[in-house]
Amino acid sequence: MGDVDILVSEVGPRDGLQSIGTVMPLEAKKAWIDAEAAAGVREIEVGSFVPAKLLPQLADTTELVAHARTIPGLTVAVLVPNAKGAEAAIRAGAHKLTLPLSVSETHSLANLRRTHDQVIDEAVTIARLIQALPPAERPHFEGSLSTVFGCTLEGTIPDAQIARLAALLMDAGCDEVGLSDTTGYANPATVRRIIALVRDVVGDEALTGIHLHNTRGLGLANALAALECGLTTLDASLGGLGGCPFAPGASGNIVTEDLVFMLEAMGLRTGIDIERLLSVRKIVAAALPGEELYGFLPDAKLPLGFVHAKNLEYV
């Protein structure tokens, strides 16, 4: 990643907004994305190609992809629930597609209305769509193992099932798999264990990212465990907005501002200007009156004498 040690992927415009009742105006979303990119955020999940009747909060994803693509250096990511959504994402010009495959089949049926086998079939179709494009136009294709640390509907998922589905995603044509703590069940020990389990199946290069929730207050501890295992992409949501509407009690993505502060305080370069990132909250708060934003750094502020990792002298 060049001059960045850890890629912080902002998922607020998608995961942050899909769980709240308020529909953020399109122009406010554009301002949010513009401001985060200006602060140095290099990847933003701007929405999801799902039917507007299901998630009206994300009905303008096509327009957001078009807008975000005009920002130099920004990777424009989207979530796609199926091949139809992937076709729309490809037409719109998204750089990265994520297909969620819940390792809990009960959750998969609630979230995507598809069995495991049906989601794998969708992955195969999406991979074929991508391979039919000229190499320079192919988006990156990630298969996300949702509820991989546990499910509010099924509980703990057997390791063998997780491993089997990870292998099936790669066999279907995904470029990589990601891990998603959809329900906030993870702890540092299970993060380390599941990373090792999935890596044994897909290899180190095909597992680089993790999506964590802070439902039980372990979000940053789990992020640190993932870092210690060598993962280099961490999802987060500005103000801690978000959660899965189809997993009861699954609230609270890790807070982008707090995550960036932790990484930079550890001497890891994110490329993100924390002061400018904090100012983005004003845009989001103004567009979502009444919605609570979370985070410790916004209240505590930066410590006296804090130095960004990019300004540290390495010996």
Taking only the tens place, the pLDDT of each residue in 86-105 is 999 999 999 999 999 999 88
Local structure of 21: helix, strand or coil: coil
Give the integer Cα–Cα distance in Å for 54 and 50. Answer: 7
Catalytic residue among 151, 174, 229, 244: 244
CA dihedral 245, 105, 219, 60 (to 10 degrees): -40
Which CATH superfamily is 7-311 part of?
Aldolase class I (3.20.20.70)
pLDDT at 315 over 60: no
With CA atoms as reference, report the closest residue to 213 among 147, 141, 157.
147
Annotated catalytic, 174? no
Give the integer Cα–Cα distance in Å for 306 and 275. Answer: 11
Residues 6+ apart with CB under 8 A from 101: 108, 116, 119, 120, 123, 143, 144, 145, 146, 165, 169
Show the tokens assigned to 192.
Answer: 């380390």
Q: What is the pLDDT of residue 286?
A: 96
CA dihedral 314, 40, 36, 265 (to 10 degrees): 0
Give the integer Cα–Cα distance in Å for 11 and 44. Answer: 6
Q: How many residues does the chain have?
A: 315
Q: What is the pLDDT of residue 313?
A: 59
Please work out, in degrees rounded to the nearest 5, the angle formed at the alpha carbon of residue 167 by the alpha carbons of 161 and 172.
125
Give the integer Cα–Cα distance in Å for 113 and 110. Answer: 6
| Domain parsing of the chain, residue ranges | 7-311
Q: Tell me the pLDDT tens digit for each residue of 201-231.
A: 999 999 999 999 998 899 999 999 999 999 9
pLDDT at 250 over 50: no
Q: Tell me the pLDDT tens digit for each residue of 267-287.
A: 999 999 999 999 999 999 999
Give the integer Cα–Cα distance in Å for 131 and 138. Answer: 7
Mean pLDDT of 44-65: 95
Helix (H) or strand (E) holding 169: helix 159-172
Residues of the chain with pLDDT > 70, as a percent, come to 95
Considering only CA atoms, give the Rg of the chain: 18
Mean pLDDT score of the chain: 93
